[in-house]
């Protein structure tokens, strides 16, 4: 019945938004407004949120601060970390408030949270009151929900309206500290590191402490996660937006040995942001020597139609392109095409544990699938 009612009422209708905000009030009441007892650092943006949360968490841990961390990839309370089974950047208010209550009970004094644009628009993260709020970047994404780029920006900036009066806003700090020593590749991770350092400086952690902490940060599951180094490199990555593709593939190309190839597995999510599909195909064709287009999370859309739209953006004079709808077979194929020294990047799924199809969710673990084929 509830799903039927949802179909009748548009996503941004006041009734829908009121329903979400009502749940946030109930959740905060049920769990006793736990954010009152925590110093919260909130991270939002289009790309880089999850990695930045991980970096902030690493700095807090290095500084000896017991904390909770909630992101698309990982839930962490103190030393106990586990995967985000909801696969949502900002889960339901009941998940969020329970997480904060559990963090307080575990003796945490701080928490770092990833704030999605949907979660901010719907009020799922109300009553979290961040002391520090940061935006990594804003580029077109989720416009099927937000409607316009202007509205998307406004929804992202709601994180600043939620802050405590004494709080600190952080944005546009990408190049404040150049050439931070990191184990993970990409100029975009330098940008993420700058934001993480600014966030932790705002709560009193010295800059040098933060820089030292990040020297040993090994990354986040599913974010440019290296599965194999030799005889060819294999990475899995959650890359989904055109800007993220450009940054990820340019970093991969820079890492590649001279004369060696870059092979990319790509696709696009169903039921949303159809206009980005040709852009994704175009970027893959520009950077990769071999492109394989496959399924990602088709949801209720025809998978072949999604692949068609990604395919239209690929200039086949620039690369060898293949389309294989079955993602498992596509992975098997792209691995079979490698030569020693090549780099393979499997984009779109990262650390996801399921794939969404018209028939519902099916179990999916890209990391284990790849390891089983190598």
pLDDT at 196: 97
Which pLDDT value is given to residue 245? 95
Angle at 118 between CA 112 and CA 120, to 5 degrees: 55
Distance CA 192, CA 215 (A): 14
Tens-place pLDDT, residues 79-123: 998 877 776 667 889 999 999 999 999 999 999 999 999 899 899
* DSSP 8-state class, residue 71: -
Contacts within 8 Å (CB) and 24+ apart, 225-230: 225/350, 225/351, 225/367, 227/367, 227/370, 227/371, 227/374, 228/370, 228/374
Q: Would you state the pLDDT for residue 175?
A: 63
Sequence-distant (≥ 6) Cβ neighbours of residue 368 within 8 angstroms: none
CB contact at 8 A, 265 and 295: no
Task: Please give the C-alpha separations between residue 347 and each of 30, 238, 315, 374, in angstroms, as whole numbers.
Answer: 39, 6, 19, 18
Q: Which residues contact 11 (CB under 8 A, 6 or more apart)?
A: 145
* pLDDT recorded at residue 13: 62
The full set of domains in the chain, from first to last, is: 2-214 (3.40.1190.10), 225-373 (3.90.190.20)
Res 12: pLDDT: 64
Using a 10 angstrom Cβ sphere, with 0-12 exposed, 13-18 middle and 19 or more buried, the burial of residue 204 is: exposed
Low-confidence ranges of the chain (pLDDT < 70): 1-13, 18, 87-89, 174-175
pTM over 0.75: yes
Over the range 261-288, which residues count as b (16 or more CB within 10 Å of their CB) and which as e?
Answer: bbbbbbbbbbeebeebbbbbbbbbbbbb
CA distances from 121 to 17, 20, 152, 312 (A): 8, 9, 9, 33
Closest Cα to residue 59, out of 200, 220, 235, 254?
200
Q: How far is CA 60 from CA 40, 208, 370, in A?
A: 12, 13, 33
Say if CB 301 and CB 270 are below 8 A apart. yes
3-state secondary structure of 369: helix
Q: Cis peptide leading into 231, omega within 30 of 0? A: yes
């Amino acid at each position: 019945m509830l799903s039927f009612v949802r179909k009748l009422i548009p996503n941004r209708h006041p009734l829908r938004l009121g329903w979400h905000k009502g749940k946030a009030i109930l959740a905060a009441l049920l769990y006793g407004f736990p954010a009152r007892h925590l110093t919260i650092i909130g991270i939002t943006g289009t790309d880089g949120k999850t990695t930045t949360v991980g970096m902030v968490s690493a700095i807090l841990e290095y500084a000896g601060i017991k904390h909770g961390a909630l992101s698309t990839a990982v839930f962490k309370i103190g030393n106990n970390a586990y995967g985000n089974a909801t696969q949502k950047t900002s889960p339901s208010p009941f998940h969020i408030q329970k997480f904060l209550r559990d963090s307080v009970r575990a003796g945490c004094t701080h928490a770092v949270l990833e704030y999605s644009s949907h979660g901010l628009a719907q009020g799922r993260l109300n009553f979290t009151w961040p002391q520090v709020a940061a935006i990594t970047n804003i580029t077109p994404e989720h416009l099927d929900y937000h409607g316009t780029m202007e509205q998307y920006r406004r929804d992202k900036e709601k994180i600043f309206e939620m802050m405590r009066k004494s709080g600190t806003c952080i944005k546009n700090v990408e190049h404040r500290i150049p050439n931070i020593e990191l184990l993970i590749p990409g100029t975009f991770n330098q940008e993420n590191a700058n934001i993480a350092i600014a966030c932790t400086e705002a709560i009193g952690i010295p800059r040098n402490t933060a820089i030292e902490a990040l020297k040993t940060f090994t990354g986040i599951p599913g974010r440019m996660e290296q599965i194999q180094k030799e005889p060819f490199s294999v990475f899995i990555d959650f890359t989904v937006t055109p800007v993220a593709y450009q940054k990820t593939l340019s970093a991969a190309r820079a890492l590649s040995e001279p004369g060696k190839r870059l092979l990319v597995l790509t696709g696009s999510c169903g039921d949303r942001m159809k206009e980005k599909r040709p852009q994704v195909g175009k970027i893959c064709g520009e950077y990769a020597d071999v492109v394989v287009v496959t399924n990602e999370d088709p949801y209720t859309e025809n998978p072949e139609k999604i692949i068609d739209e990604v395919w239209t953006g690929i200039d086949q004079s620039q690369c060898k392109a293949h389309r294989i709808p079955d993602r498992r077979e596509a992975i098997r194929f792209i691995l079979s095409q490698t030569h020693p020294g090549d780099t393979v990047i499997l984009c779109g799924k990262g650390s996801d544990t399921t794939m969404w199809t018209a028939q519902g969710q099916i179990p999916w673990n890209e990391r284990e699938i790849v390891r089983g084929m190598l």
